[in-house]
Amino acid sequence: MVLIAAQGITAINPSFDFTPARLIDAIVTEVGVVLLPSLATMNIIKGDQDEQNSINNR
The predicted pLDDT at position 25 comes to: 92
The predicted pLDDT at position 56 comes to: 52
The predicted pLDDT at position 38 comes to: 85
> CB neighbours (10 Å) of residue 49?
9
Please report the DSSP string for 1-58 in residue order.
Answer: ---SS-TT------SS----GGG--EEE-SS-EEES--HHHHHHHHT-HHHHHHHHT-
The per-residue pLDDT for range 2-57, each reduced to its tens digit, is 666 778 877 777 777 778 888 989 988 887 888 888 888 888 877 765 544 555 55
